[in-house]
A and B are shown apart, each in its own frame.
Chain A
């Protein structure tokens, strides 16, 4: 696939087109690599928080005990960051496929990227400031 992209961009000779295709190759690779990492992070998280412990017992005191170990904060922050990036990029594919009008697409994308950015900030703040 990568070789096809390179050949196409050389034939078209357009710099803009080739940088866009280069971005999509990195995006494709990122989805595979982050997916493999998330496979473990998300399933371990679900197993501990929903199977080993009941959802009603994961109270503030429970989280305080868990986050007293900074490694769990790192684990949860990685899950937050990779989950949001992987999910936002996945939503970008969906928006490109189904929102065809350029103006609507711009509005929808700006909204999605804005919400993801704000939630990344809120999530990071929660993990860092909780005592």
Chain B
């Protein structure tokens, strides 16, 4: 049973994404963040990484692209809205984090470069 070409491509992308997320995770840890969760998936949407440092919660979207510009442009407002809704759902399940500030960050992963972290990349209003 051989997979179709499309399925093979999807698996390749998936693997690529996971590798990027692992890299991003380490990059955040080196900056002093604690990783609270990764790949949070609800029916309203999903979040790649949830990290915390001090009293700040960072909801991080990881994007792996060939260039930095492409990575920065990769997340559209609708996608951010889904992330924000997921963040609300996740925080509702974690009342111990209620006194934290929320922030939406972007982690851009490009080939042969250290991932770049863009804190406070998007806001809901």
Q: Do A and B bind each other?
A: no
Q: List residues of A whose CB falls within 8 A of some B CB.
A: none
